[in-house]
A and B are shown apart, each in its own frame.
Chain A
Amino acid sequence: MKDTVRSGVLAQRRRRGPGKLQLRLNVNGETYEVMVEPRRTLLDVLRDDLGLTGAKKVCDRGQCGACTVLLQGVPVYSCLKLAIECEGKPVETVEGLMSNGRLHPLQQAFIDHDAFQCGFCTPGILMSLKALFDRNDSPTEDEVRQAVEGNLCRCGAYSKVLQAALSVARANEQE
């Protein structure tokens, strides 16, 4: 089985597309410089080029929400954004949720309420909720459901996601 490729076809190697471009991204407050093909999605750049693997690739076509990150504070499916579209725009991922070594209240509530099982959907759901809570720190149950409706959880942790989010909302209300 040894090798179909190395046997001397290098000379005629073809390339599709324009090749890699240099790009500057601002992720979780840090600036990164990467060389990527223009067709590369923000999700793939985050995961494969920057090693920020919190956002997950599940459908790669805007149908599940596992790749949700915030772009200029707005939740987006990062599999539907090309990285080159995001140059100069702040990106927030789940890796940036903690501050000063402390969990974000949503993160803590997810742990306390067991709001995940396998956890593969969790980074996406947390970012959808982060965007909601940034706008409105004590949302109603309906608002929470709407914020998370684009995030699929196959393990079915939804009721506990709801409970976790509402517990944070209630705590904020009391402050």
Chain B
Amino acid sequence: MPKIVRTRVEFEGEVRERMAVVVEDQVLPWSAREKLDIVGRPHPRVGGRQIVTGGATYTADVQIPGMLHCKIRRSPLPHAEVLSIDTAEAQTLFGVRGVLTHANAPRIRWFGNSFLFDRFVRFEGDEVAAVAADSEEIAEDALDLIHVRYRELPFVVDPEQAMKPDAPRVHKEGNVIGGPEGDVYERGNLEEGFARSNHVFSERYETQAAVHNCLEPHCCVAMWNGDELVLWTSTQHAYGVRDGVAAALGLPLHKVRVICEFMGAGFGSKQGAGKHEVIAALLAKMTERPVRLYPSRREENLAGGVRHPTIQYLRAGVRRDGKLMALHLRSIANVGAYGTDSSEVGGPVRELYDCANVRTEQFAVYTNAGPAAAFRAPGYVEGMFALESMMDQIAYSLSMDPLQLRLVNYARKDPVRGATYSSKPLDEAYRTGAKMAGWNLRAKAQQMGARRRGLGMASQIWGGGGGPPAYAIIRLNSDGTADLVTGTQDIGTGTKTVLVQIAAEELGLKAEDIRITVGDTLAGPYAPVSAGSMTVPSMGPAVRAAAKSAREELLSLASALMQVSAASLSIRNGIITSTTPSKTVAVSDVTRRIGDFMIVGKGARGPNPPNVKVRTFGAQFAEVEVDVETGDVTVTRVVAVHDFGRIINPLTSGSQIEGGIVQGIGFALMEERFVDPESGTSLNANLEAYKIPTILDIPIIEHALIDRPDESCNSIGSKGAGEPPIIPTAAAIANAVYDAAGVRVRSLPITREKILVEIGKLKLQPKPAGEAPGPAQKRRRPRRG
């Protein structure tokens, strides 16, 4: 029986209490000793064949007969009032079918007090008008023919400037979200802690705006069937989009169906309904035609979201023996014009180390830059860079082994709530990683001419426990195959594969006899957002519960047919076996006998265990070469050891680790969106000037998994793997750069220029306005075309 409980839900570092209807988990966790056939083994990706043959249908590929193409006119100014929009000329263009502006769009509230098409534009890229036309080219032509008059307003793109009382206001309520005190956490007595310290370190760190740049943009196709909206969209949360779009359009939930079959990644930037989906739906209604909206790469860079750039002031007090006595962080996150404040920059300072006296003050500040959005482990990547850089600095100045310093401050219990961890093999990750990386053998700054080699390390902590609500349904077909139906989405992480493995394991079927449906709100029951590393630990147990219920029904039928007791039956590989008397029968024989009477198993994610803290842990070791003449940094090797509880599929979890490290390398060394402070406009909104790692930038990546089921966290013993791998990478690289070249760069990305300045080989000239200080990278221009 379902019951109502209060449960703690942790999401991207924030913990919330929620009322929930939950079904007590009837499924006992698989024990560590249990022999599993399919779970825990490499399994090729479900849907892989479609991907490699070009047959996978992404939102980008959806084509409906009669479909129009939508393009959006965006503000060229960082802050202005829209005085007038003249669309007359655009409407006379052949093939233009609909134009939407604030004049004819319904007044739909968006981002607090502003509207879908607002009278004020607050960043370069804000939506001003939209056109639907017969082709994308015509829609683009039409944008040129829309005449907009603006009154320019003063703007601010620097968050520290924006915090000043006389700064231009991005929103009426003021620029600092939640008021001037910020978001404060405190434990112990900070001043006492500093007073009892032998050394106090105080540094300023900076992290940059990194653009998600998912290869599939925030695209969608909207189509009306009578009064029902069907929306194909590239999203991390089909149900979230359903709810958001329904609310914006005033539709009941059953009139909106959201579909996302294959998805070209999100990395945090596609977590709920966006303006683009509402605009496409409105234009589809207006024109009575399906409408596709496909943003350009430039739009994606301007308006698709960035990792919150941060400024962090970190102070640490330590005893002579390395024990942390006090930690004080003041962080400022630039959320841009509309971003959310969900970035927990203080997370690592609060919870990584055993330190009695801690204070974090987090500020989230509006500016007239493109909006920030959660980006793979938001806050923790940035916060970990500062904290682990600081720890490294402390270790060197105390002449301690950096790894030893971490062990001195190892937290056995959660320092925030004092709760015990469901499992914490971080010490093991340190040991294993150190061994793999040759940490103890490392020589001081090896030299090869101008090139210096160094090794650095950093730690990782993150949530990833998942939780309810999450549901799944399994239906057995008369031929013994099964349909696993869910409302979750596979954003490229391997969700489909892992869920099929879990269902196959529990049900005793072959994986290829199970078909999974994801990303359709009409088909599958509610599933949570694919973010916060929570998909597997939330959906996995729900799928297992559904499979268990189907299995039990199947076995009771089989026991009647075979005339043996259900307790003596088990299923493997599609064969039902009874021990006494020894008999076998194929699952398909049973299902065929009942014909179209269908076995339907339903499953729900049970509640999280009370009073324990579920966290993922890990450590990474980076080896770099720094050229002290040119400032060039090459990452030659990264060793990663992570704990995600039980590994369902070593193939896909390994891919998560490698992908996180590659993005971490980009963040550490090359990625940065530049907004020119003089004009407030973006200088590198494309994939040429905005550098992301290519295959030439990839080091040797070695990883090890602490593949140990966390039996107290949920019935599959797994924790999430999506975000942890990116968390320590930049910090480990920065520490390796110090080990190699003896300079500490406290501002990301670590460019050649910054290294040469630190070494003293380069004096910074004030930059002429409007010139992008392009991060020096060795990526060659693509040659063909």
A158 touches B136 (CB 8 A): no
Whole-angstrom CA separation of A102 from B220 in the bound complex: 33
Distance in Å: Cβ of B143 to nearest Cβ of chain A = 12
B265 touches A155 (CB 8 A): yes
Let me know if A24 is at the binding interface, CB within 8 A: no
Let me know if B760 is at the binding interface, CB within 8 A: no
Let me know if A34 is at the binding interface, CB within 8 A: no
**B91 touches which one: A5, A111, A118, A122 (CB < 8 A)?**
A5
Chain A hits for B262, CB < 8 A: 118-119
B655 touches A117 (CB 8 A): yes
Let me know if B525 is at the binding interface, CB within 8 A: no
Whole-angstrom CA separation of A2 from B105 in the bound complex: 9
B106 touches A57 (CB 8 A): no
- Answer whether A160 and B784 are a contact pair too, CB < 8 Å, given A3-B98, A103-B49, A110-B52: no
Whole-angstrom CA separation of A116 from B57 in the bound complex: 16
Let me know if B216 is at the binding interface, CB within 8 A: yes
A149 touches B694 (CB 8 A): yes
Identify which of A5, A14, A76 gathers the most chain B CB atoms within 10 Å of its CB.
A5
Let me know if A54 is at the binding interface, CB within 8 A: yes
- Answer whether A159 and B698 are a contact pair too, CB < 8 Å, given A59-B297, A63-B686, A111-B45: yes
Interface residues of A in 35-69 (CB under 8 A from B): 37, 39-40, 44, 47-48, 51-66
**A154 touches which one: B57, B265, B695 (CB < 8 A)?**
B265
Whole-angstrom CA separation of A37 from B95 in the bound complex: 13
Chain A hits for B44, CB < 8 A: 111-112, 114
A59 touches B52 (CB 8 A): no
B60 touches A1 (CB 8 A): no
Chain A hits for B21, CB < 8 A: none
Binds B, one of A92-100, A132-140, A166-174: A92-100
A94 touches B215 (CB 8 A): no
**Residue interface bits A138-164, CB-to-B below 8 A is 1, else 0:** 000000010011111111111111100
Chain A residue nearest in CB terms to B725: A156
Distance in Å: Cβ of A135 to nearest Cβ of chain B = 14
Distance in Å: Cβ of B298 to nearest Cβ of chain A = 9
Chain B hits for A123, CB < 8 A: 54
B696 touches A9 (CB 8 A): no
Whole-angstrom CA separation of A33 from B92 in the bound complex: 30
Let me know if A80 is at the binding interface, CB within 8 A: yes
Let me know if A126 is at the binding interface, CB within 8 A: yes
**Residue interface bits B765-785, CB-to-A below 8 A is 1, else 0:** 000000000000001101111
Interface residues of B in 633-680 (CB under 8 A from A): 651-652, 654-656, 658-663
* A/B interface sample: 5 pairs, CB < 8 A: A62-B785, A93-B54, A116-B51, A151-B695, A162-B695
A155 touches B780 (CB 8 A): no
Distance in Å: Cβ of B519 to nearest Cβ of chain A = 13
Let me know if B504 is at the binding interface, CB within 8 A: no
B701 touches A57 (CB 8 A): no
**Residue interface bits A68-93, CB-to-B below 8 A is 1, else 0:** 00000011110010000000000001
Let me know if B99 is at the binding interface, CB within 8 A: yes
Whole-angstrom CA separation of A155 from B135 in the bound complex: 30
- Give the interface size bracket for B toward A: 35 or more
A53 touches B696 (CB 8 A): no
A75 touches B784 (CB 8 A): yes
- Answer whether A157 and B137 are a contact pair too, CB < 8 Å, given A4-B91, A150-B784: no
Whole-angstrom CA separation of A120 from B141 in the bound complex: 28
Whole-angstrom CA separation of A150 from B91 in the bound complex: 40
Let me know if B460 is at the binding interface, CB within 8 A: no
Chain A residue nearest in CB terms to B699: A159
User: Given A3-B286, A16-B94, list of 10 further CB < 8 A pairs?
Assistant: A15-B93, A53-B63, A103-B53, A110-B52, A114-B654, A114-B655, A121-B215, A148-B695, A151-B695, A152-B694
Binds A, one of B333-341, B398-406, B490-498, B533-541: B490-498
Chain A hits for B662, CB < 8 A: 156, 158
Let me know if B421 is at the binding interface, CB within 8 A: no
Identify which of A39, A54, A151 gathers the most chain B CB atoms within 10 Å of its CB.
A54
- Answer whether A159 and B54 are a contact pair too, CB < 8 Å, given A56-B60, A64-B215, A118-B265: no
Let me know if B58 is at the binding interface, CB within 8 A: yes
**Residue interface bits B420-455, CB-to-A below 8 A is 1, else 0:** 000000000000000000000000000000000000
**B296 touches which one: A53, A60, A116 (CB < 8 A)?**
A60
**Residue interface bits A1-34, CB-to-B below 8 A is 1, else 0:** 1111100010011111000000000000000000
B213 touches A154 (CB 8 A): yes
Chain B hits for A95, CB < 8 A: 53-55
B215 touches A156 (CB 8 A): no
Chain B residue nearest in CB terms to A122: B51
Distance in Å: Cβ of A163 to nearest Cβ of chain B = 10
Chain B hits for A40, CB < 8 A: 137
**Top 5 A-B pairs, shortest CB-CB distance:** A54-B54, A118-B492, A156-B662, A119-B51, A120-B264
Whole-angstrom CA separation of A155 from B105 in the bound complex: 37
A16 touches B104 (CB 8 A): no
Chain A residue nearest in CB terms to B662: A156
Whole-angstrom CA separation of A13 from B93 in the bound complex: 5
Chain B hits for A14, CB < 8 A: 92-94
Distance in Å: Cβ of A148 to nearest Cβ of chain B = 5
- Answer whether A77 and B651 are a contact pair too, CB < 8 Å, given A52-B54, A95-B53: no
B93 touches A157 (CB 8 A): no
A155 touches B785 (CB 8 A): no
**A149 touches which one: B45, B286, B695 (CB < 8 A)?**
B695
Interface residues of B in 191-243 (CB under 8 A from A): 212-217
Chain A residue nearest in CB terms to B285: A1
Let me know if B544 is at the binding interface, CB within 8 A: no
Distance in Å: Cβ of B700 to nearest Cβ of chain A = 8
**Residue interface bits B576-618, CB-to-A below 8 A is 1, else 0:** 0000000000000000000000000000000000000000000
**B658 touches which one: A37, A62, A97, A160 (CB < 8 A)?**
A160
B51 touches A154 (CB 8 A): no
**Residue interface bits B148-159, CB-to-A below 8 A is 1, else 0:** 000000000000
Chain B hits for A155, CB < 8 A: 265, 492, 655, 659
Whole-angstrom CA separation of A151 from B663 in the bound complex: 15
